[in-house]
Structure 1
Amino acid sequence: MKNLVYIYFIALLGLGSCASQKNMEAKPPFVIDHPTSQKWVRGKEESATGIDVVLPITQIMDENVSFQHLYFRGHVTTVKKEIIDGKQFVSAKITIKKIPRPDIIMHADPRKEVGNQPPHLKKEPIAEYPYELDNDEAVLSYIENDGKKVKYTKISKIKEKQPLLYSSKPRN
């Protein structure tokens, strides 16, 4: 009988944890067609890298939709709505900053290498990333005209373009 109580308690906790995940909207008030992502790398080794995500909106049923955040490949970023040549887009820029490496003294005499610091392997925790997504999936959060509740929709089949590699040479 005691084991039955423990099993019931564990099952109850398991079901309760599912409620903490954010519900996805099956029919959002917009249609996104042919979403793309593109990595970019700056020329210098210690520079930042990042990913640009572009979500073309082909239909929008409610003009009062306010787009909030994009969850993509372990990152959360704000998005902005743009209109280019009469077409609407939601775009996000994810910047991944690289930590500059300190100078390291390499010498045949080990006593001259005393000031070298060991590398820091500590990773930054991802702030509130509640989704398990594939590499070509993202979650877009938005608020409809009522302005009260944040809603979420899953975007699949994000096509990855060729990376942009910026030159490290200064332009003349």
Structure 2
Amino acid sequence: MNKLVYTIVFGLLFLAFSCCSSSKIKADNKFQNNPPFKIVKAVYKNWVGGQPGVKGYLVQFEIDNPEIVLDTVYFRNMKTKLKKDFTSENNTYVGTFILPHIIKDYILHKDPKKEFGNEPPIVSENIPFVLNDNEAVISYIFNNKTAYYKVSNIIEIKNTSKY
């Protein structure tokens, strides 16, 4: 009876730990080499909002296949949902990243009660990809399955405004 209990507990633990790695995207099988679309244009630009310190990136992808739905973009250790740009005549998707804008002063003191009110720092999300600054990964839906495609050499558009 004791061996049966140990076997069942060991089997459950084995199943629990073997499922942990399935939540991460496998490094050897994550990118599609021949996706069902071609990237016509891949650009990004820095933007600055109307409030002091509000800034971020705007990433834009144009693809040639209107049947494909782009879902998420991973860029510079961040991720965001892509939205279809209906104002464009082309099949264009846009992702907006908002960078943390407030640099906070922290109270550091020997007495922990005097540190009350410090807010924890905003930590960027670790994405499951290692990317250079001009690379992104797009997740897209094709035949009801999510697939990933790595886009290299995203072109930065410089802001031409004179503010």
TM over 0.5: yes
CA–CA distance in structure 2, aligned partners of residues 41 and 31 of structure 1: 30
Q: Which structure exhibits the higher relative contact order, with contacts defined as CA atoms closer than 8 Å and separated by 6 or more residues?
A: 1
Which structure 2 residues correspond to residues 1-172 of structure 1 after superposition, within 5 A? 20-21=26-27, 23-42=30-49, 44-45=51-52, 47-57=53-63, 59-60=64-65, 63=67, 65-99=68-102, 101=104, 122-127=121-126, 129-144=127-142, 146-147=143-144, 149-163=145-159
Counterparts of 1:85 and 1:69, CA distance in 2: 19
Relative to structure 1, the CA distance from residue 19 to residue 74 in structure 2 (aligned partners, 3 Å threshold; closer, same or farther) is closer
Structure 1 segments unaligned to the other structure (5+ residues): 1-15, 103-114, 168-172
Structure 2: unaligned runs, 5 residues or longer? 1-20, 106-113
What letter matches 1:49 in structure 2? K
TM-score in terms of structure 1 length: 0.63
Give the C-alpha shift of residue 78 in structure 1.
0.2
8 Å CA contact retained: 1:41, 1:166: no
Tell me, yes or no, if the aligned pair for 1:77 and 1:93 is still in contact at 8 Å.
Answer: yes
Q: How many equivalent residue pairs? A: 134
Sequence identity, in percent? 25
CA contact (8 A) 1:42 1:166 kept: no
How far apart are the structure 2 equivalents of 1:43 and 1:23?
38
RMSD: 3.4
- Amino acid across the alignment from 1:162: K
